[in-house]
Structure 1
Amino acid sequence: MKEKIFLVDLDGTIINSSRGILNSFDYAFEKMGVLTPSKEILKSFIGPPLHDSFGLYFEGKDIQKAVEVFREYYSEKGMFEIEVYEGVEETIKTLSESCKCKLFVATSKDDKHAKEIIKNIGLDKYFEKVVGSSADGTFSEKVDIIRYILDNEIENTDEYEIFMVGDTKFDIIGANKNGINSIGVLYGFGSEEDLREAGATYIVEKLTDILEIK
């Protein structure tokens, strides 16, 4: 039986970051002088790269400016307005220590904040590496982040059974395009319909359920 490697999404999978992210979007739109979209629209921005979401409302240099303003609030307050989902630490610890699986964080959140969050919540000791997006948005798509980990952090990928674990269709699509398994979780920001339509290999209600996948 092949050893397992898990690439784990951050927002909506490890942490419930909705309060901090929504507050950061509110701050950014207000500072940019643009009417803030509805909460339902803003919730759809949790998961995709920031540059893609702001690109729906801004053009050119204003997109980067909006991202920078968003990160002003996020760096000071938003990144601390989070909760670790129930069962996450238990699952991550079991996978790392008991199952001897290699673990990576694969997130579209910017690399600096992703690393700080994982350290602040005390899970950094379980992960081989945290890989997030670049500050300028040139490296932010989940498919590219997964590919980077496969190409640069894992030797002889054929020797492992590799899973991408996430809550949105972007995690599933990224996994499928890179030829690895995917596990969609139902407690995050995505929908079961989107996860199924994207072609998730497995769908689980809670993170601890992945311990039962053979």
Structure 2
Amino acid sequence: MNNIFFDLDGTIINSEKGIMGALKYMYTKTDGFVPHDDDTLRAFIGPTLSESLKKYDNLDFDNPLSQERFKAFKEYYQEKGVFDYSVYDGVYEMMENLKSQDKEIFIATSKPEVEAKKIIDQLDMKKYIRHVFGATDDEKTRSLKADVISYGMRKTSVDLNSENLVMVGDRSSDIIGAHQNDLKAIGVTYGFGNAEELSEAHSEWIVNSPLEVPEVFKK
């Protein structure tokens, strides 16, 4: 496996502070109060906002209230939240290690592609990452992780297939999205998911730190 798709939130960066701020702003602006506790709000991180609104608020994407919440979330997140994050310890060392193994590294995230590219630029990670693939800004035509992975596999000039590509992510959506594209996946427990969630999604490998990721490729 010479090519790697990395999730962004919960795998490269800890984006909890910015996303939680946007979620609380979203509910306060549209409902006047926040209907969920922090543990529930953390579960929003990873899947698309439309998925989470459907799961936790029973709102389809086309519902007017869903659209109002989506607009409020974007209002806060694009202004304040997008750069309110930290990089997980060991990520830069992981990137260096993988590059020394001649791995080609890509980002495949459910975050809008424009925002993801800004973050990678700010982190000075373009020297490691060949391309960033993300969701469309409206979450309509490309938002599910399976769709982002498929899009990335088609768009790059590299011949990516199930024999030479693996997905790395922290949530079940990353693992399921990989499997839907006939890829194997490495689940990481240091993000927003946990070993139980990743195991139930049938992740082929589960690691506990960024520095364990390169070790998978040495086995």
Tell me the TM-score normalised to structure 2 length.
Answer: 0.90
In structure 2, the CA distance between the partners of 1:178 and 1:159, relative to structure 1 (3 Å rule), is closer
Identity within the alignment, %: 38
Cα separation, 1, equivalents of 2:41 and 2:162: 41
Q: Per the alignment, do residues 159 and 18 of structure 1 end up closer, same or farther by CA in structure 2, a change over 3 Å counting?
A: closer
Contact 1:108–1:141 under 8 Å retained in 2:
yes
Find the counterpart in structure 1 of residue 46 from structure 2.
Answer: 47
Q: Does the CA-based 8 Å contact 2:189-2:208 persist in structure 1? A: yes
Distance 1:8 1:33, change over 3 A: same
Q: How many residues align?
A: 211
Matched residue type, 2:188: V
> How many Å separate the matches in 1 of 2:121 and 2:37?
32
CA drift of 1:160 comes to 5.0
1:116–1:39 Cα change, 3 Å: same
How do 1:38-187 residues align onto structure 2 when only pairs under 5 Å count? 38-55=37-54, 56-57=56-57, 58=59, 60-96=63-99, 98-138=100-140, 139-158=142-161, 160-187=163-190
- Normalising by structure 1, we get a TM-score of 0.92
1:199 aligns with 2:197: no
**Contact 1:8 1:165 (C-alpha < 8 Å) held by counterparts:** yes
One-letter amino acid of the structure 2 residue matched with residue 135 of structure 1 = D
Residue ranges of structure 1 left out of the alignment (5+ in a row): none
Alignment CA distance shift 1:68-1:201 (3 Å):
same
Note if 1:208 corresponds to 2:211: yes
Letter in 2 for 1:91: M
Q: What residue identity is the alignment partner of 1:199?
A: H
- Which stretches of structure 1, 4 residues or more, deviate above 6 A after TM superposition? none
Q: Following TM superposition, by how much is the alpha carbon of 1:46 offset from its aligned partner in structure 2, in angstroms?
A: 0.5
1:31 pairs, out of 29, 34, 37, with 29
| Segment drifting more, 79-88 vs 30-39 | 30-39
